[in-house]
Amino acid sequence: MGDSKAVPIKEMPLGLDTTTEEEYALQSKLLQEFTSIPSIDKAWTFKSDDGIGSQAMFSISQPNLLANKRRKSILSTHIFKDNNSSVNFRWSPFPVEMTGVSTIVPSPSGSKLFVVRNPESESPSQFEIWGSSQLEKEFHIPQTVHGSVYTDGWFEGISWNFDETLVAYVAEEPSPSKPTFNDLGYKKGGSTDKDCSSWKGQGDWEEEWGETYAGKRQPALFVININSGEVRPVKGIKKSLSVGQVVWAPSAKDMHQYLVFVGWSSDTRKLGIKYCYNRPCALYAVKSPIYMSEANELELKDSSTEDVPVFNLTQQISSAFFPRFSPDGKCLVFLSARSSVDSGAHSATDSLHRIDWSTDVTLWPSAKIVDVIPVVMSAEDGHLPGLYCSSFLSNPWLSDGCTMIISSFWRSSQVILAVNVLSMEVLRISPAESNFSWNVLTLDGDNIVAVSSSPVNVPQIKYGCIVEKKTKAAAWSWLDVSSSIYKCSEKVRSLLSSLQFSIMEIPVKDVSDSLTKGASKPFEAIFVSSNSKKSDACDPLIVILHGGPHSVSLTSFSKSSAFLSSIGFSLLIVNYRGSLGFGEEALQSLPGKVGQQDVNDVLTAIDHVIDKGLASPSKITVLGGSHGGFLTTHLIGQAPDKFVAAAVRNPVCNLALMVGTTDIPDWCYVEACGSKGKDIFSEAPSADYLTLFHSKSPISHLSKVKTPTLFLLGAQDLRVPVSNGLQYARALREKGGEVKVIVFPNDVHEIGRPQSDFESFLNIGVWFRKYCQ
C-alpha cells in the first residue's frame, strides 16, 4: 500500500456553522479592540515636594482575557496649572502593574501608602506600608485574627487616623471553629490544620449577604498600629451588626479616639445587599482600642474586660451611610437612602444630611439631623431632579471647608454638583449644555480632576477650575487633559467618529388622573445611530433595557454598547419610568405595575423612533439583563410580532420561582405588589401570592412567543438563580421556539469575568446580525 497521510477533520465549535464561524472571527477581532480600552478606577492628588504644582496617581484596570482577570496598574503624573485657561499633565512614561494588590490607600498627608494584598486561600492577609521611595513595613495577619479585608466598595472602609499612626479597616471576622472527627468519632478540643489523622466537619450554616458575598459571613472592625503591626478587633459591637465604611472621628488632644462606621443589623435573615439600598443602616460611634500611655506613646488596649459603649448617631432616620467629616471637624455629613428603606424599593432618590459634631460624647445620640438635600419628589425642568449618588470621594471638600463635590445622576446623564452643606446651596458645575456624562475622580486643591464621556466618545480627563470665585454661582472652566490612558485603536476611533447620539424625550402614553405629576412627565431614551445615512433604509435597531428596575442607563461610554453600534446597529437605550434620576414620584410609579407600565413605556419609545423614521419596524431586536431581561421576555410575549431577535442576561422570567430561590425575595413582593409588599413579605408565600407572581411574570405569556432568543446565564448567580432562565428557555424550546443557551459556570449575576463578558457580547452581536440580514 502506498503512503497516505490522514487529513485532520476540521471540527466546528458546538452550534456554529461555517457562516456563523466567519462572523465570529470578524466580530471577535473588533470586540477585542473595544475590550482592551482601559478604565480609571480611582485617583489621588498630592502636594509636590518642590512646592510647584501637584502630583496625581491614577489606578487603572484593563481586562486580561487570557488570565480571565482584570490587570491593575498605577500611572503617575505631575500637574502644572498656569492659569484658568491652561493646565499641563506630565505623565510618567509607563504605568506600573500592581500584581496581587487588592487595594491601596494613601495617608492624609500623602507621605505613606497602605497596601492590602488579600490571600486567595487560607494564607495570611498581607499589609505593606510604603514611604516615598521604599517599603517601610510589612505585616502578615493570620486567619486566626481575621479573614480578607473588604475591598468591595460597600462594606469597604480603610481609614488612617489624623497623625498617621493607626489604620482602621473592615475585614472578615475569623471563621468559627468547626467540629473535628477521627476514626474514633468526634474529637474533643478540635485539631490543628496539620493533623492528618482527623477531618473537619461543616458546623452550623450561617447567613451571608447574598449576591457577590458568597463565603462572606460577618464584616468586622479592626485597628492596626503601623509601627508595631499589632492588630486589635474593635470591641463592643453586637454580633448582629455588620459594619463598614469606617472613618476616624475628630478628637481633641489627650482624648480617646473614636471611630464612626455604618452598621447593618441582621437579627434573623441577611437579605441580599448588593444594589439594594433598602437595607436599614445607621451611623455608629465606638471608642478605638487605644489610649495614651504615660510615655505619651500610642498603645493598643485590650478592652475585652470593660463595657465599651457604642453610640447610634442616626436613630431618627432609617438609613445613613458614606460618613464624611468636614475639614474643621465641626460637622458630619452622610447620605441616606431612607426613601428606599421606607418604600421597599431596592434603590430610590437619596437625601443628604448633616450633624453638627460635638466633642461631648453624651450629646451624640440626641444630635439633630439637618436636611441638606431632601428627597426631591418631582422637579421642574432644569432643576435638580434629586440626588442619586453611588459613591463619595474620601475627601470631597473644597478649601472653604463646607462645599462638597459629588457626582450624581441627572435624568439620563451624570453630572458634578457643588453642595454647600451649611447654606444648603446646590450648583450643577459640569457644563449644563453638555449631554455627556461627567464623573469626579479626585480634587486637586480647589480644582477638580474628572472624566467626561458619551456613548460615542471614549472617556477624556477634564480639569475643572473656578473662574469667578466671588460670585454667588461660581463659574467653572473645564480644560482638556492630554492623556493616553483611554487610548484606543484607529479603527475604533474611526468607527466611533461615524456615530452620533441624542437624548429623546418620550411623552407618556395614556396619562390618567391617578398618576402623580412626576409619573406623568416624559421619560427619556438615548438614541445612538450613524451620522452618515447612505440610503433611505434604516440600520437595524437594538432596544437596550437596564436592570433594577430602579437603575439608569447613562450617556457615558460603554464598551459593549459602542461595539454593538459599531457593527451596524442603531441603539435605543430606554430609561422607562421607575429609573433613577427623574425624581421620586416617577420612580415610585412602577412598583406594583411591573410587566405593564415599564413594558408600555418601552413600546411607546419604539413607536416614537419608528414614527420619526429612525427605525424600521421589520428589524428590531431587544436586549436586557436582570429586570431588563424581565422586560425583554415580557416584550417578546406581549408583542410577539415586533422583534426579530432577543438576548437576555440572567433574566427574571418567573417571580413565583424566583421568590423561593433568590437572595432578595422581598424584591419580588415590592415590585409585584407595590410598597405594601414590604410589609406582607414572607419567606413562605401563600398560593394566592404565588399565583399573582406568576401572572406578573414573562412566563405567563410564553405561549405567544415567536422570537429567537439567546440566553446568557451565570451559574453562581444568587440574585436571579440560573433556574429562572433555564426554566423559561426549556419551556420555549419545548414549544418549538428557537433558543440558544450559554451558561457560564463560575459567573455571578453580573457575568463580569473578562472571558464571560467577551463571549456574551460576541454572541449577542452574532445572534442579532444573523436575524437582521
Query: Taking a C-beta distance cutoff of 8 angstroms, is the pair 545, 514 a contact?
Result: no
Phi-psi bin for 68: left (phi > 0), alpha (psi -120 to 50), beta? left
Is 444 exposed, middle or buried (CB count within 10 Å of its CB: 0-12, 13-18, 19+)? buried
749 catalytically annotated = yes
Burial of 265 (0-12, 13-18, 19+ CB in 10 A): middle
Is the separation of the CB atoms in 654 and 697 below 8 Å?
Answer: yes
Give CA–CA dist 297/273, Å, rounded: 40
Report d(CA 208, CA 216) in Å as an integer: 6
Collapsing DSSP states into helix, strand and coil, what is residue 361? helix
489 included as an active-site residue = no
Helix/strand/coil percent split, the chain, to 5: 20, 35, 50
> b/e for 624-633, b at 16 or more Cβ within 10 A?
bbbbbbbbbb
How far, in Å, CA of 268 to CA of 265, rounded?
Answer: 9
- What is the total residue count of the chain? 773
347, 548 in Cβ contact below 8 A?
Answer: yes
The yes-or-no answer on residue 694 being catalytic is: no
What nine digits make up the cell of 344?
421597599
606, 620 in Cβ contact below 8 A? Answer: yes
Distance CA 31, CA 125 (A): 37
Burial class (CB in 10 A: 0-12, 13-18, 19+), 607: middle
Closest CA to 705 of 758, 619, 642: 642
| Residue 575 grid coordinates | 430609561
Task: Assign 3-class secondary structure to 722-767.
Answer: HHHHHHHHHHHHHCCCCEEEEEECCCCCCCCCHHHHHHHHHHHHHH
Q: Give the type of residue at 531.
A: N
Nearest Cα neighbor of 573 from 633, 622, 616, 626 is 622
Q: Amino acid letter at 311? A: F
Task: Determine if residue 564 is left, alpha or beta; phi over 0 gives left, psi from -120 to 50 gives alpha, anything else beta.
Answer: alpha
For residue 348 the three cell numbers come to 430610590
Report the distance separating Cα 350 and Cα 128, nearest Å: 36
The grid cell for 260 is: 464612626
Half-sphere exposure of 434 (CA within 13 A, CB side): 20
Omega into 106 within 30° of 0, i.e. cis?
Answer: no
Catalytic-labelled residue, pool 749, 756, 757, 760? 749
What type of residue is 597? Q
Question: 3-class SS at 511?
Answer: coil
Alpha helices in 282-433 (DSSP H): 338-343
| Three state DSSP letters for 405-462 | EEEEEECCEEEEEEEECCCCCEEECCCCCCCCEEEEEEEECCEEEEEEEECCEEEEEE
Which listed residue (242, 347, 570, 626) is catalytic? Answer: 626
Instruction: Show the cell assigned to 317.
Output: 432616620
Structure letter (DSSP) for residue 198: E
Could you tell me if 608 and 368 are in contact, meaning their C-beta atoms sit under 8 angstroms apart?
no
CB 77 within 8 A of CB 58: yes
Hey, which residues are catalytic here?
A: 626, 717, 749
